[in-house]
Structure formats: structure tokens, C-alpha cells
Amino acid sequence: MWQKALDYYSRYRPRSNVMQKKLDNQRVSVIVTTRNEGDVIKRLLKSIRTQSYKNIEIILVDNDSSDKTIEIAKNEHIRIFKHGLERSSQRNFGARKAKAKYVLFLDADMKLSKNVINQCVELIRCNKEMGGIIIPERSEYRNYWEQVKAFERTFYNEEGDSITDAARFFPNKVFERVGGFDEQITGPEDWDITDRVRKYGYTIGRVKSEIYHCERIPSLFSLMRKKFYYGLALNKYLNKHGMSPISQKTVYFLRPVFYKRIDRIVSKPVLSIGLIVMFLTESIGGAFGYLIGRINAK
């Protein structure tokens, strides 16, 4: 009922101060970070516009795109800012511009199913101790390696995985209290902020509605390069949380979620072989990045 009322009143201008305050108390700021995302940004923005939950503002923070990302985004009539540096810095900048009670952080290669934001708001409104919400991801694939990545995600999605899951949706006051994203970390920054939210005594929830992720994996080498880049900041994350570089979080082959579903691995031999090869490739890239990051830190 309250959602219908918000949708109705949001059509009217000007608003009274009381009604504006009520709207602000339920608004969600969706923060999207981009860099040369012209091929995917329109589908994401459309999926946000067509959410069943309507009290939304969209903030796009672009890092010097040289393609048509900004041109496409301008046609969607959203708030657009330019801010460089890494993804964590872009997200924090977007959060500072937010005018809402809740913040949701998305990558440009994602697409929301219709009820994602509504489920997040409903869940967190009913749980005052909840400081963040995990949204499961389902991969969209076009080639073999993207299909393998989609196969990997199926292991995490059924019941969730407390080891690797990370929150994307936060009450703005919680996000500010924990200090936002660590701008010295790119790659594990989602793990880092989720860990800190828990350390502050908040619980982390999970919704059923999914994010569809366009994987865009042209080759195994691209995965290795990506994990190498993320590995450069891994040492900072591990030191910050007193973690070992060899753990269930950092080493694919140690994650229980795969061994709990041996039946699935056996039933999909072609994908399972690719999964092993992909894990080896990503592990090599991540390990080299971690070593270089440690050397650079000394």
C-alpha cells in the first residue's frame, strides 16, 4: 500500500515538506560506475527504470570514457558526474552525491530483474539491525568461457555462500558509518566493505531476485589479466583483516561450496573441465598480482 502511495504522489509538483520528507525516507540512490561501457549501459539503465519500485534516483559516475557512454546516458535524463581514479573512488563519490535513505551500487555490465530493489527495501525495512543486502547474480553468456563462468555462479546462487558473497545494497547511514569503500582496494573492495559492516555489528541479508551479469570474457587470457590486476590490491585487503593468502576466500579449490555439489560437477563434465582450467588460470594471474603487490608495498 505504501509503495502505491509513493508512486502516486511522486507524480505531483510541487510537494509539501512533509510529503517530500516521506519520499526521501524511502528513496533509493542507484550508483553506476562506468568507463567505456557504451555497449551495455543502456540495458542497465532500462532495467533500473522498469523496476517495480519507483522511488529511485540514478547517479552515473564516469571515469573519462572515450566511447558513447555519456552520450547514451544523457538521453536517459539521469544525474551524471565525471570522476576518475578507481571503482571504489567512483562509488564513494556517487554516494556523496546521493539524496536517498538507501544506496545500491551496480556495474555497467549488469541488468536488474524487475523486483530487485523492491525486495531489498522490503527486507531491510523489516530488519533494523541489517546493514547490507546481497543480491545473487546470474551470468549471461555467449561463448564457452562465459558459460563456464555462469556454471561457477550456479554453485553460489542456490543458498548463497557466506565465504564469497558481498553486499551491494546498504542504508546510507550504515555506508557512511563504516567509511564507504576503501579506495586503496580494487577487486576485493566488495568483500572488504561487507566484512566491515559485519564488524560494526550489523547483519547481512539476501534477496531472491537476481542481477543478470553480462560476463564479456573474450579469452582465458583476459581472465588472467583481470585477476592479476585485482591481485595487486589483495595484500592490502588481507593485511587489513588479518587473513592468510591461502584460505577458502582466496583459493577457489578450497571453497566448500563446490565439494557439496560433486553430483553437479560429475553431471557436467565439459563445463567442469573448463571450470578447473579457468580456476587454474585465474589463480596464476591472481597469485602473480598478489606477489607484485607485496613487493610494491615494501
Mean pLDDT by 10 residues, the chain (298 residues): 45 48 78 96 96 97 96 93 92 96 97 98 95 96 97 90 95 97 95 97 96 96 96 95 95 95 96 98 97 92
Q: Which residue has the cell 573448463?
A: 274
Strand order in the sheet with 56-62: 79-82, 56-62, 28-34, 102-107, 169-171, 130-134, 203-206
Cell of 272: 567442469
Radius of gyration of the chain (CA): 20
- 275, HSE (Cβ side, Cα atoms, 13 Å): 19
Which pLDDT score is estimated for 158? 77
- What is the per-residue pLDDT for 1? 47
Q: Where in the chain is the domain with CATH 3.90.550.10?
A: 2-217
Measuring CA to CA, which residue among 171, 135, 119 is closest to residue 3? Answer: 119
Quickly list H helices, the chain. 2-9, 17-24, 41-49, 69-74, 87-97, 116-125, 144-157, 172-177, 189-199, 220-231, 234-241, 256-259, 262-267, 269-297
pLDDT for res 84 = 82
d(CA 134, CA 167): 4
Predicted local distance difference test score (pLDDT) of residue 6: 45
Q: Is 150 helix (H, G, I), strand (E, B) or coil?
A: helix
Q: Which CATH superfamily is domain 2-217 in?
A: Spore Coat Polysaccharide Biosynthesis Protein SpsA; Chain A (3.90.550.10)
What is the Cα–Cα distance from 172 to 25, expressed in whole angstroms? 11
